[in-house]
Amino acid sequence: MNVGDNMTGSPGIVPEGLTRLLELANNLWWSWKPDARRLFETIDPTLWDLTHHNPVKLLHDLKPDRLIALALDPAFVRQYSAVLKAYDEYLTAQGTWFATRYPELSDKKIAYFSAEFGLHNSIPIYGGGLGILAGDHCKEASDLGIPLVGLGFMYPQGYFRQRVSPEGWQEAEYTPFDRSESPIHQALTPSGAPCRITVDIGERIVHVLVWQVRVGRVILYLMDTDIQENAPSDRELSARLYGGDQEVRLCQEILLGIGGVRVIRALGLAPAVWHVNEGHSAFLTLERIRQLVQDGRPFPEAMELVRQTTVFTTHTPVPAGHDVFPYYLMDRYFGQYWDLLGLSREEFIQLGEHPTVPSAGFNMTALALRMSAHLNGVSREHGRVSRAMWHCLWPNVPEDQVPIRSVTNGVHAPTWIASEMNELYSKYLGPDWAERSDDSAIWHRVTDIPDTELWAVRRTLKRRLMRLIRERARAAWIEGRIGPSQVLAEGTLLDPEALTIGFARRFATYKRATLLFTAIHRLKHVLHDRWRPVQIVFAGKAHPADEPGRQFIHQVYNFCRDQGLGGHLAFLEDYDMHMAKYLVWGVDVWLNTPRPPMEASGTSGQKAAINGVPNLSVLDGWWQEGYDGSNGWAIPVSTELTDPHAQDAHDADCLYRILEQDIVPLYYTRDRDGIPRGWIQVVKDAIRTITPRFCARRMVKEYMEVTYAPAASWRPPV
C-alpha cells in the first residue's frame, strides 16, 4: 500500500492498484463524465448520495476496508482502468478543436476573471447565474482545448446557506466549508514555492495566498486573504461572496483586479487575452497599464495595448446592477495609484465617469467599456439594450453601431444532462453527441426517439425529483430544522403524476416570483382541477441585503403553507447546484417571468430544455431568440404598457391563459397507451431547437472566433 500524498482531501491509505483515484477525484473532469461518476458511485452508493456526489469527501469518509475489497474486485478494477484511460487520453489529446482550428495561437493563454465560479456544489464559491456561467465557460474551454486559466476568490465561507423560518423568512447562515473535503490545493510558482502576492489597499498591505482547482485541462486560481499575516478585518475580505458594505466591496474588487494580475504574473503566466467577466474585475486593466507604464511606455500607448487585448462581458441591463463607488472612497484607495499611471486625479476619475451622471461616482462598467476593445452582452436582446444604455460613451455614432455585440449564453451540456437522458441521446444521436452538441444536424435525430421511451424517462426523472424533495423534508424534520407547518411547504404532499411547473432562480424582484399569485382564484382553478392537477415548485435565494427579495420569499413560502393551496405548492430551501440539477431534470415546465427588458440572458431554462423540459417564459433574455412558436410557450411583451402594475396584470393574464388553454390540456391529452403525443412533440422540438443553439460549446467557440482570436492576434501598429 501507498501512503496518500499531502493533497488536501486525500485519505490516509489507498491500495496500490487504486492510487490514482485521488487524482481523478481532485480534477472536476469526473463531474461531467458519466463513466467517471458511475465509478465513484460504485465505490459506495449510499455514501455517494450522502456526500452530494463529492468524490473527495467520499474517499475521505470511506472505510479503508472498502477500498481494499475494491482493489481485489476484477470488475471494479476494469471499470477504474477504463475511466483512467479516458482521463489520460483527454488530458493528452493533441487534436482538440482549438489545436485544429487555431494552431497559430497554441502558445496564447486566455485569463478569465470572475467574482464567482459555479463548478460543483463541493466548492460553494458561487451565488447565481454569473458564477454558473463562468463554471460552464471553464468546462467547455477545457473540452475544446482552449488554453484558458480562471481567476477568482477562495471565499472560505462561500455564499450563504439559506434557512427559512417557520414564519417564512429567509435567514442567512455563513459556515466555513472544509477544504479537506473539496478538490482545492495550494497553487505553486514556477520555483515550486506556494504562490503568494501582496496588494496595497489604502495605507495597508494585504497578503494573498493562492489556491487552485483543476477543471479538466483548465486551472482555476483562487485568492485567499484568510491568513495569519493579515489583520482580522483584511482576513475577512475574501471570506464571503458579495458580503460587506460598499467599502468592503471596493477592496474586494481591488484585490480581484489588481491582485489578480499580480497572481497571474507570480505564476509565471503571460496571457495574450484578458477576459473581464462583469465589471467586478475591471481594475485589472489599470494594473496592466501600470506595469507597462513602469516599463517605460507612455500611458496612451499602454492603454491601447491593454484595450486591444481585453474582452469585457457585461451581464446586466439593470442600472442598479453596475458597481459605482463614491469618489471619496476612490481618493482613499487610489490616491497614490494614479501617479503610477502618469495621470492626474481628474484624468483618472474620467476613466470611470458616466457621461450623463458624472457626479454619481466611479462606474466599474464604464471603466471596463472604455478599457476593452472587445465588448459583448449575453443575449441578442441584451446586446440591443446595452447599446442603448451605453450609447452615451459613443455619442458620435448611431446607436446600432455602438461596438457592443452579443454572445448569447449557453450551458455545458455534459454537466447538466440527466444520466437517463444521456443514455437516450447516446442510443439515438450517437455516443459522441456531447462532442457535437452544437451541431444542429444530429439534433434532428431526436425525432427518431420513440415517444414511449422519452415519456418513460421523463416520468422517471420526475419521480427522482419527488424522492429528493421528500428525503430533504424528512431529514429537516428529523434534525429539528422544520416544524409541522413547514412540512407542507417543503413539498411532502406533491403528486409524482401531476403536471409540475418549476420556478427556481435568484429572488430578485424584477424576476417577479409572485406574478403567479396575481389572481388567486384563477390559480386555484388551475391547481385544483381534480382530473388535471397542477403543482408548482419554487426555489431560490435573495441576497441577504435585498429586503424586497426576502419579502417575495416570505410571500411565496406562506402561499406554500396555505392549506387552501397546500399540497400543490412547495418552496425548497437552500437552492444550490445539486438541487438545480434535480429541478431541471424533473419538472415538466420551466417558468420564467422577468420584467422585460431586465433579463440579460438567463440559462436555467436552457438546462431544462436539453433535458426535455419546455419553457414558459416572458420573451426576454435568451428566450426572445430561442422561442420559435412550437418549442415552448411565450408570454408576449406589451410595448404599450409602461405602468409596472398594468404590465404585471397583462403578463399574469397571459400566463393564466396559456396554462388554462394550452399547457394543461396538452399535457393531459393521452392516447390509449397513456402517452401525451402532442406534449412529447413539444418536448422534442425544445430539445432539437434549443440544445445546439444554447449550449456552451457554441458559446465558447463564438467567444474564441469573435473576441479571443482577434485579441490574441492583435499587433501594435509599426
The string of DSSP codes covering 387-447 is HHHTGGGSTTS-GGGSSEEE----B-HHHH--HHHHHHHHHHT-TTGGGGTT-HHHHGGGG
pLDDT band per the 50, 70, 90 thresholds, residue 5: very low
DSSP character at residue 195: P
Q: Dump pLDDT digits (tens) for 349-379.
A: 999 999 999 999 999 999 999 999 999 999 9
pLDDT at 20 over 80: yes
Strand, helix or coil for residue 688? helix
Query: Of 307, 260, 310, which is closest to residue 281 (Cα–Cα)?
Result: 260
| Rounded mean pLDDT, 177-184 | 89
Strand, helix or coil for residue 111? strand
Residue 594: CB atoms within 10 A of its CB come to: 22
pLDDT at 9 over 90: no
Question: Cell numbers 472612497 label which residue?
Answer: 329
Q: Find out whether 220 and 150 touch, Cβ atoms under 8 Å.
A: yes
As a whole number of Å, the end-to-end CA separation of the chain is 62
Query: What is the H or E stretch that residue 502 is in?
Result: strand 499-504
Q: Dump pLDDT digits (tens) for 651-670.
A: 999 999 999 999 999 999 99
pLDDT band per the 50, 70, 90 thresholds, residue 421: very high
Question: Please, how many CA atoms are within 13 Å of residue 398, restricted to the half-sphere of its CB?
Answer: 2
Main-chain phi, psi angles of 589, to 5 degrees: -135, 140
Give the per-residue pLDDT at 243: 73
Q: Dump pLDDT digits (tens) for 225-282.
A: 999 999 999 999 998 887 778 999 999 999 999 999 999 999 999 999 999 999 999 9
Q: Cell numbers of 138, please?
A: 471553464
Q: What is the percent of the chain with per-residue pLDDT over 70, rounded to a whole number?
A: 98
- With b for 16 or more beta-carbon neighbours within 10 A and e for fewer, the 516-541 pattern comes to bebeeebbeebbeeeeebbbbbbbbb
pLDDT band per the 50, 70, 90 thresholds, residue 12: low
pTM for this one? 0.96
Quote the distance between the C-alpha of residue 44 and its chain's center: 29
| 4-8, 528-532, 695-699: which is most confident | 695-699
Those residues with Cβ within 8 angstroms of residue 88's Cβ, 6 or more apart along the chain or in another chain:
none
Q: Dump pLDDT digits (tens) for 552-587.
A: 999 999 999 887 887 899 999 999 999 999 999 999
Those residues with Cβ within 8 angstroms of residue 661's Cβ, 6 or more apart along the chain or in another chain:
none
| Rounded mean pLDDT, 419-433 | 97
Q: Dump pLDDT digits (tens) for 272-331.
A: 999 999 999 999 999 999 999 999 999 999 999 999 999 999 998 877 778 999 999 999
Q: What is the chain's mean pLDDT, rounded?
A: 94
| Rounded mean pLDDT, 387-405 | 96
pLDDT at 4 over 50: no
CB-count exposure of residue 597 (10 Å: 0-12, 13-18, 19+): buried
pLDDT band per the 50, 70, 90 thresholds, residue 6: very low
pLDDT at 149 over 70: yes
| Rounded mean pLDDT, 36-63 | 95
Give the per-residue pLDDT at 241: 81
CA distance 508 to 504: 11
CA distance 177 to 181: 8
CB-count exposure of residue 456 (10 Å: 0-12, 13-18, 19+): middle
Q: Dump pLDDT digits (tens) for 448-494.
A: 999 999 999 999 999 999 999 999 988 888 888 888 878 888 888 99
| Rounded mean pLDDT, 613-627 | 97
CA distance 20 to 6: 14
Query: Of 253, 245, 304, which is closest to residue 279 (Cα–Cα)?
Result: 253
Comparing 33-37, 414-418, 455-459, 484-488, the range with the smallest average pLDDT is 484-488
Amino acid identity of residue 486, one-letter, is Q
* 3-state SS record for 144-185: HCCCEEEEEECCCCCCCEEEECCCCCEEEECCCCCHHHCCCE
Strand, helix or coil for residue 214? strand
Give the per-residue pLDDT at 502: 98
Give the per-residue pLDDT at 307: 98
Q: Find out whether 154 and 224 touch, Cβ atoms under 8 Å.
A: yes
Give the per-residue pLDDT at 3: 34
CA distance 634 to 623: 8
CB-count exposure of residue 104 (10 Å: 0-12, 13-18, 19+): exposed
Q: Report strand pairing: 310-313 vs 374-377.
A: parallel
pLDDT band per the 50, 70, 90 thresholds, residue 175: confident
DSSP character at residue 340: H
Q: Cell numbers of 59, please?
A: 474517499
Query: What is the H or E stretch that residue 618 is in?
Result: strand 615-618
